[in-house]
Amino acid sequence: MDARVLLIGVGNPDRGDDAAGLAVARELASQTLPHVAIHESPGDGAALLSAWQGFDVVVLVDAMPPNGHAGRIHRVDAVAQPLPADLFANSTHTFGVAQGIELARALGMLPRTLIIYGIEGREFTIGSPMSAEVRGAILQVTMAILAELRRKTSP
Amino acid sequence: MKPMKPASRKTIKVGYLARVEGEGGIFIRVSNGQVREVKLRIFEPPRFFEAFLRGRMYTEAPDITARICGICPVAYQMSAVHAMEAALGVRVEGQLRALRRLLYCGEWIESHILHIYMLHAPDFLGYPDAIRMAQDYPDVVKRGLELKKIGNAIIALLGGREVHPINVRVGGFYRVPTRRELAPLAEQLKWARDAALETVRWTATLPYADFNRDYTFVALRHPAEYPFNEGRIVSNRGLDITSDEYEQHFSEEHVDYSNALHSTLRGSGAYFVGPMARYSLNFDQLSPLAQEAARAAGLGSVCRNPFQSIIVRAIETLYACDEALRIIEAYEQPDAPSVECVPRSGTGTACTEAPRGLLYHRYRLDETGQILDAKIVPPTSQNQKIIEEDLTSFVTQSIALPEDELTSRCEQTVRNYDPCISCATHFLRLQIERE
């Protein structure tokens, strides 16, 4: 039986690099992948738990605060290890992605597989365009997710 | 832990304030046992949405302003559409008006529940966060998550999507639901009403600081309903004005330590907006079930203890479930999803009741409907001075508490207001310093 797969793109479209997760989600949505649902989120951690209800495999993409290397890509297996809260503390919601994931862990509500892709950003000012480094990373993350989904959903 | 000695001089610093929406800080200086200085600091630059709106068409304002805040997009849309309709001389009545109230019910439910369960309750139960609380109270936290989901479902159905809803327009909606589409919501809301009642009972059992102040409450008041979208702006000190008179009575000022403007009521200074103000000025307009639950929870018709605001939010959540059910039961699909709007030059103002309190919008349009200028005053901006005053009073009466307890109580004092600093500006860091 096919795994039920959800791709969640997190971000704010009006804050430069913060839109990275949404950009990846839209890129993947344009490819009409079978058995993959796409969800866009502003980073409301509490809502993530209901968003992934019923899915076996969840891949979430979010921007990360600047940490010296804009466009750098991080991949975390969130079922195997807690998400470092400071890496994903970018949301204006203090109950954000990291908190939502840890709450799900505490309640036994994590999906079977939860992979997080983080893209380090540089520019988060309201109304600013996305930085060139993050724009470049979006294609890389999209390709990495496609490869990963092929592995996870192939029989 | 030993109680702190009343040092002759101390500055309290807490470098990080978690569980408020945004980024900011608090600074408190005490000397000779007296609080000398309290500053609510906001670090990030103010948000530029007012400038961003200039030159855009009146039709764009609901969607642009919805993006100011991920927690209360409906409030921004509602204040925007009402202000635009005032400028264009349009009234939206009947079922379209009722659907706007229903949409607002969804936002109150999801916003209040997020604050009650995920952000505020851990303070009362002695947990650093909801994650730790969930380990000991899994069923309570799951109830919160389910309730929040129903608020989100209302917004998704009426707003077109949960986040930054796009179905709202000046004059009404782009599309209205059928009765059949609303029916499943009614089933969920019946459960939610019971769960909200349980929430009121549960919040009433939490331990509260003994802390009451004689606030100037400001909220909308409508002769026939608990306020969401419409009403006169009233206070418990005799204020009774329309939104067109708002700027004659309220002023905003810069303070050197914060990037957000501080609001004052001319002649009386700091004032209080939000659930406790709404409740205290409109108790008689709550549904019988909500009034009964409030009395059973030990609240009178006025609440002056901000630590009990968690109960008031639960009561408003119960009211929102009750009101949403009433609206759905009485719903008849209107013939048209919106009323016609014709551009003309003019100025329009509106206040609506965001989950956190009064939200003022003013727009000036040219004859083509282009926005010449815009002014937005969010509730957190209005509550900043009251938060500072609460901190001054609270630290004064609690000065002998051990330092870490005083610090966490100060954080709780700020969270009593569910501050959404990402609307007022962008804020999260709380600092208290002792010397």
Residue B320 has pLDDT above 80, yes or no: yes
* B148/A47 CB distance under 8 A: yes
Q: Which residues partner with A72 through β-bridges? A: none
**Packed helices B138-159 and B309-329: angle between N→C axes, nearest 10 degrees:** 40
Residue of higher predicted confidence among A154 and B159 = B159
Distance CA B222, CA B292 (A): 21
**H or E stretch covering B34:** strand B34-41
Distance CA B328, CA B118 (A): 28
Say if CB A10 and CB A43 are below 8 A apart. yes
Closest CA to B250 of B237, B267, B228, B236: B267
Among candidates A14, A93, A99 on the partner chain, residue whose Cβ is nearest the Cβ of B21:
A93
The string of pLDDT tens digits covering residues A26-76 is 999 998 788 899 999 888 889 999 999 999 999 999 998 887 899 999 999
Determine the Cα angle at B41 with ends A93 and B435, to 5°.
120
Q: Measured on CA atoms in the order B374, B76, B274, B330, is the torsion positive or negative?
A: positive
Distance CA B367, CA B122 (A): 52
Residue B33 has pLDDT above 90, yes or no: no
Q: Which residues of A touch B415 (CB under 8 A)?
A: none
Residue of higher predicted confidence among B422 and B144 = B144
Which chain B residue shows the shortest CA-CA distance from A90? B22
How far does the CA of residue A113 sit from the closest CA of chain B (Å)? Answer: 20
Q: Is the ipTM of this complex over 0.90?
A: no
Per DSSP, helices labelled H in A3-130 are 20-29, 45-51, 97-107
Q: Which residues contact B114 (CB under 8 A, 6 or more apart)?
A: A44, A46, A95, B71, B148
Distance CA B269, CA A12 (A): 36
**pLDDT of amino acid B410:** 86
Instruction: Tell me, yes or no, if B149 comes closer than 8 A to chain A by beta carbon.
Output: yes
- Fill in the DSSP letter of residue B272: B
**pLDDT of amino acid B269:** 93
Q: Which residues partner with B371 through β-bridges? A: B365
- Tokens 């380990």, residue? B135
Say if CB A3 and CB A36 are below 8 A apart. no
How far does the CA of residue B360 sit from the closest CA of chain A (Å)? Answer: 21
Written as six digits, the tokens of B405 are 């307890």
**pLDDT of amino acid B256:** 75
Residue A97 has pLDDT above 50, yes or no: yes
Closest CA to B146 of B174, B105, B113: B113
* B19/A42 CB distance under 8 A: no
The mean pLDDT value of chain A amounts to 87
Q: How confident is the model at residue B425 (pLDDT cuts 50, 70, 90)?
A: very low
CA B378 to chain centre: 9
Among B55-69, B155-169, B326-340, the minimum mean pLDDT is found in: B155-169
Q: How confident is the model at residue B14 (pLDDT cuts 50, 70, 90)?
A: very low
Q: How confident is the model at residue B4 (pLDDT cuts 50, 70, 90)?
A: very low
- pLDDT, mean of residues B178-193: 96
Residue B178 has pLDDT above 70, yes or no: yes
Written as six digits, the tokens of B63 are 């969607």
- pLDDT, mean of residues B232-237: 97
Instruction: Tell me, yes or no, if B218 comes closer than 8 A to chain A by beta carbon.
Output: no
Q: How confident is the model at residue A134 (pLDDT cuts 50, 70, 90)?
A: very high
**pLDDT of amino acid A38:** 94
**H or E stretch covering A58:** strand A57-64
In this structure, are strands B371-377 and A73-77 parallel, antiparallel, or unpaired?
unpaired
Residue B5 has pLDDT above 50, yes or no: no
